[in-house]
Chain A
Amino acid sequence: MNNPILKMENISKTFPGVKALDGVHLNVYEGRVMALLGENGAGKSTLMKILSGVYERSEGDVSYMGQPVNFKNVKDSQDVGIAIIHQELNLVDELSIAENIFLGREPKKRLGAIDRKKMVADAKDLLESLNIEEDPNKSMKKLSIGRKQMVEIAKALSLDAKLIIMDEPTDALTDKETESLFTVIRTLIDQGKSIVYISHRLKEIFEICDDVTILRDGRFVAEKQVFDIDENTLIEMMVGRKLEEQYPYMMDNQGELLLEVEGLGNDHVHDIDFKLYAGEIVGVSGLMGAGRTELAKTLYGTYPIKRGVMKLVGNRILPKSEAAVIKAGLTYVSEDRKKDGLVLSMSVKENISLSAMNRITRHHVIRKNEELGLIRDFIRQLSIKTPTEAQKVKNLSGGNQQKVSIAKSLMTRPKVLVLDEPTRGVDVGAKKEIYDLMNQFKKGGMGIIMISSEIPELLGMCDRILVMHEGTIQGELTRTEATQENIMRYAVGLEGGKS
Chain B
Amino acid sequence: MKQEYKENLRRFQSVFGLLFFIIVISLLSDRFLTGSNIFNVLRQTSVNAIIAAGMTFVILTGGIDLSVGSTFAFSGAIGAYLIGSGQPFMVAVVGALTIGLLIGMANGFIIAHWHLQPFIVTLATMTIFRGATLVFTDGKPIGTGFEGSAALFAKIGGGYTFGIPNPILIMIVLFGLAYYILKHMSMGRYIYATGGNQEATKLSGVSIKKVKVFAYGISGLFAAISGMIITSRLSSAQPTAGTGYELDAIAAVVLGGTSLAGGVGSILGTVIGALIIGILNNALNLLDVSSYYQQLAKGLVILIAVLLDRKEK
Contacts and interface: CB of A to CB of B under 8 A. Distances in A.
Most chain-A Cβ atoms within 10 A of its Cβ — which of B3, B6, B207? Answer: B3
Given A344-B196, A364-B185, A365-B184, 9 more contacts: A16-B6, A17-B1, A334-B203, A340-B200, A343-B196, A345-B192, A346-B193, A361-B186, A391-B3
Contact of A365 (B3, B6, B185, B197): B185
Contacts of A365: 184-186
B3 A340 contact: no
B196 A354 contact: no
A202 interface: no
B2 interface: yes
A103 interface: no
Most chain-B Cβ atoms within 10 A of its Cβ — which of A339, A354, A361, A391? Answer: A354
Interface string A326-352: 110000101000011111111000100
A296 to B, nearest CB: 11
A345 B205 contact: no
Contact of B2 (A17, A323, A342): A17
A387 interface: yes
A478 interface: no
A366 interface: yes
A89 interface: no
Contacts of B201: 343, 354
Contacts of A366: 184-186, 189
A391 B189 CA distance: 16
Contact of A364 (B187, B200, B207): B187
B4 interface: yes
A52 interface: no
Interface in B180-238: 184-187, 189-190, 192-193, 195-197, 199-207
B197 A390 contact: no
A357 B1 contact: no
A354 B206 contact: yes
A366 B186 CA distance: 6
Interface string A378-394: 00000000011011100
Nearest to B187: A364
A43 B205 CA distance: 33
B54 interface: no
Contacts of A357: 186, 189-190
B264 interface: yes
Contacts of B184: 365-366, 368
Contacts of A302: 203
A350 B205 contact: no
A340 B203 CA distance: 7
Interface string B255-280: 00000000110000000000000000
A322 interface: yes
Contacts of B202: 322
Interface of chain A, helix or strand or loop or mixed?
Answer: mixed
A334 B193 CA distance: 17
A332 B203 contact: yes
Nearest to A331: B205
Contact of A354 (B3, B4, B187, B189): B189
A334 B201 CA distance: 12
B269 to A, nearest CB: 15
B263 A322 contact: no
A339 B196 contact: no
Contact of A343 (B1, B2, B3, B193): B193
Nearest to B210: A323
Given A354-B189, A366-B184, A366-B189, A342 B200 contact: yes
Interface of B: 1-4, 6, 184-187, 189-190, 192-193, 195-197, 199-207, 263-264
A344 B207 CA distance: 19
B185 A345 contact: no
A406 B100 CA distance: 41
| 5 closest residue pairs by CB, A with B | A343-B196, A16-B2, A323-B205, A357-B186, A345-B196
A321 interface: yes
A408 interface: yes
Contact of B263 (A17, A327, A343, A408): A343
A368 B183 CA distance: 10
Contacts of B193: 343, 346, 350, 354
Contact of B204 (A339, A355, A361, A392): A355
Contacts of A452: none
A391 B203 CA distance: 22
Contact of A322 (B189, B190, B205): B205
A400 interface: no
23 contacts: A16-B3, A16-B6, A17-B3, A321-B205, A322-B202, A323-B206, A327-B205, A334-B200, A341-B203, A342-B200, A343-B197, A344-B196, A345-B196, A346-B192, A353-B189, A354-B204, A354-B206, A358-B186, A365-B184, A365-B185, A365-B186, A366-B189, A390-B4
A341 B184 CA distance: 23
Contact of B200 (A339, A392, A412): A339
A391 B2 CA distance: 10
Contacts of B6: 16
Contacts of A323: 205-207
Contacts of B264: 345
A376 to B, nearest CB: 15
B263 A345 contact: yes
B189 A350 contact: yes
A14 to B, nearest CB: 10
A340 B205 contact: no
Nearest to B207: A323
A412 B203 CA distance: 13
B35 to A, nearest CB: 38
A149 to B, nearest CB: 19
Most chain-A Cβ atoms within 10 A of its Cβ — which of B197, B200, B201? Answer: B200
Contacts of A355: 204-206
